């Protein structure tokens, strides 16, 4: 198996030490440093000879200790716009391609995480798997056009689009089919995909949205308010451009807000990359007529509430949480009552309310609108339970199952024979979709089919319709 791939920018030598060929640290854009710091990503420069692609590139600046970086054999730098490619062979075959956008609230994460190692998917499905790094936090999402000019907004999304453009143009050199690209996003990665679909992005052919808090695209006013906080924190109170540590310190000073946190660096409506809220677009406009597979885990928010003591979850606290999410004009007591019927503790009620408000309901509304326009949609809910008491089927538990990396985070989904069987089944369903097949019954709109994935998987119709209807008019698409 040759370890060299020939792109239009130059040749790359990958790692051929196993049965899957891996190209790490492949530049998809020029370094966003110096005068390019607050500018849209640009194509990389070409190179002569054969460039080594053995080691992962630096990860984007984020809050992570030097000790953790060293333990994982990683470095951190603004010069971070690289991707990683796992492929059975760099040949002339045309394999389906999966491009993964990691989560982390657009402030954390990277494409070298062991949890999203692409080797098992590439091997099991004979596909090409791609992960990437992109700018995070203020460096990727500070809404400051008055300071940095047009083109400085939503840089994280611009980086992701640049990477998708690179994949469309270059993946044939790695045994991939540029006409069969599935973009996969988890958490904030799924939010990014919803924004791309809303803007009519034509850089992928199928989309998978996992655990996306799709309501969390910020208004222009909200994003501007975050920028004001950031500037007040002193990041631009210097005679020269602030350093990375100063930027990270300013980020930490921003109030995250009540539960769920406001996501100060999620995408915002800038009138350029994001013209309208994706939920509004899904409801009112045509989006690209591509197949979509989307869903959430049953107990997304439990992993975030796990840090809180039981005595936090009083009747008053749970009602205040419901009121904060439901908003004025909604009956918070009715919301709490609707969830108490299915949950035994106040902790579970509180977590379930956020799970539906932030993840399940907006995802269902987004794909419902897509399906009702005649597009192919497959909807799921992951019910596989974490072995750690209290977590249930929590946020991030989809990752080890989809990637087959159970060993990397056994607390999320387990690492026994039953978990491995479930992971194999999930991978097979996802791969069936990626190849253009129909992994289960289509979701055709309200009260449609949802695949419940767990110890006993099966199709349900109108799954949890009563609770999801509580949030029907809470989002921009319906407000």
The pLDDT of 330-346, averaged and rounded, is 91
The per-residue pLDDT for range 50-61, each reduced to its tens digit, is: 999 999 999 999
Q: Per DSSP, what are the bridge partners of residue 4?
A: 13
pLDDT for position 288: 96
Q: Per DSSP, what are the bridge partners of residue 13?
A: 4, 52
The pLDDT of 354-369, averaged and rounded, is 96
CATH topology of domain 4-469: Rossmann fold (3.40.50)
Residue with tokens 């995408």: 267
The per-residue pLDDT for range 140-199, each reduced to its tens digit, is: 999 999 888 889 999 999 999 999 999 999 999 999 999 999 999 999 999 999 999 999
Average pLDDT, the chain: 94
- How far is residue 437 CA from its own chain's centroid? 23
pLDDT band for position 479 (50/70/90)?
Answer: very low
pLDDT band for position 326 (50/70/90)?
Answer: confident
pLDDT band for position 255 (50/70/90)?
Answer: confident
The per-residue pLDDT for range 92-106, each reduced to its tens digit, is: 999 999 999 999 999
Contact 404, 313 (CB under 8 A): no
Distance CA 358, CA 215 (A): 6
Distance CA 479, CA 474 (A): 6
> Active-site residue 187, yes or no?
yes
Tell whether the model's pLDDT for residue 477 goes beyond 90: no
Exposed / middle / buried, residue 398 (Cβ in 10 Å: 0-12, 13-18, 19+): buried
pLDDT for position 478: 44
What is the crossing angle of helices 315-326 and 332-340, to 10°?
120
| Cα separation values, 162 from 28, 94, 265, Å | 7, 22, 19
Residue with tokens 């949802």: 450
pLDDT for position 432: 98
pLDDT for position 235: 58
> Cα angle vertex 371, ends 367, 372, to 5°?
120
pLDDT band for position 262 (50/70/90)?
Answer: confident
Distance CA 180, CA 431 (A): 12
Choosing from 41, 119, 187, 397, which is the catalytic residue?
A: 187
Distance CA 132, CA 205 (A): 18
pLDDT for position 118: 98
pLDDT for position 258: 72
Of 72-76, 110-114, 154-158, the least confident: 72-76
Picking from 439, 441, 290, 293, the residue whose alpha carbon sits closest to that of residue 374 is 290
pLDDT band for position 8 (50/70/90)?
Answer: very high
Structure tokens at 84: 């990683």
Picking from 363, 382, 373, 360, the residue whose alpha carbon sits closest to that of residue 444 is 373
pLDDT for position 236: 61
pLDDT band for position 237 (50/70/90)?
Answer: low
């Amino acid at each position: 198996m040759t370890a060299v791939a020939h792109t239009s920018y130059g040749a790359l030598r990958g790692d051929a030490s196993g049965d899957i060929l891996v190209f790490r640290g492949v530049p998809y854009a020029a370094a966003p440093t110096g005068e390019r710091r607050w500018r849209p990503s640009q194509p990389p420069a070409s190179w002569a000879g054969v460039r080594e692609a053995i080691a992962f590139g630096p990860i984007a600046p984020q809050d992570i200790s030097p000790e953790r970086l060293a333990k994982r054999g990683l470095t951190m730098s603004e010069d971070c716009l690289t991707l990683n490619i796992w492929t059975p062979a760099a040949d002339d075959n045309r394999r389906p391609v999966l491009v993964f956008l990691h989560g982390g609230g657009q402030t954390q994460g990277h494409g070298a995480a062991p949890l999203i190692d692409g080797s098992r998917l590439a091997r099991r499905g004979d596909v090409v798997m791609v992960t990437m790094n992109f700018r995070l936090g203020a460096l990727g999402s500070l809404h400051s056009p008055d300071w940095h000019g047009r083109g400085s907004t939503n840089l994280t999304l611009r980086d992701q689009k640049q990477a998708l453009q690179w994949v469309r143009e270059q993946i044939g050199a790695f045994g991939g089919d540029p006409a069969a690209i599935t973009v996969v996003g988890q958490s904030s990665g799924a939010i990014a995909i919803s924004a791309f679909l809303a803007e009519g992005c034509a850089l992928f052919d199928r989309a998978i949205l996992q655990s996306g808090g799709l309501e969390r695209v910020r208004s222009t006013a909200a994003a501007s308010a975050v920028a004001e906080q950031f500037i007040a924190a002193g990041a631009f109170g210097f005679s020269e451009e602030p350093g990375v540590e100063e930027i990270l310190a300013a980020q930490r000073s921003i109030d995250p807000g009540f539960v769920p946190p406001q996501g100060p660096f999620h995408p915002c409506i800038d009138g350029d990359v994001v013209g309208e809220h994706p939920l509004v677009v899904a409801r009112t406009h045509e989006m690209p007529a591509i197949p979509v597979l989307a869903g959430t885990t049953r107990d997304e928010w439990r992993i975030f509430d796990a840090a809180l003591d039981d005595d936090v979850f009083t009747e008053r606290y749970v009602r205040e949480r419901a009121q904060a999410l439901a908003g004025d004009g909604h009956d918070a007591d009715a919301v709490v009552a609707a969830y108490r019927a299915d949950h035994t503790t106040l902790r579970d009620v509180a977590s379930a309310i956020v799970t539906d408000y932030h993840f399940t309901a907006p995802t269902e509304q987004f794909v419902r609108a897509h399906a009702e326009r005649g597009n192919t949609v497959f909807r799921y809910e992951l019910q596989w339970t974490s072995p750690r008491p209290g977590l249930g089927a929590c946020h991030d538990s989809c990752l080890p199952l989809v990637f087959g990396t159970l060993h990397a985070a056994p607390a999320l989904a387990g690492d026994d024979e039953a978990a491995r069987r479930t992971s194999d089944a999930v991978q097979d369903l996802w791969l069936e979709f990626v190849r253009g097949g129909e992994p289960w019954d289509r979701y055709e709109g309200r009260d449609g089919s949802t695949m419940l994935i767990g110890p006993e998987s099966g199709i349900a119709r109108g799954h949890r319709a009563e609770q999801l209807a509580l949030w029907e008019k809470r989002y921009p698409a319906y407000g």
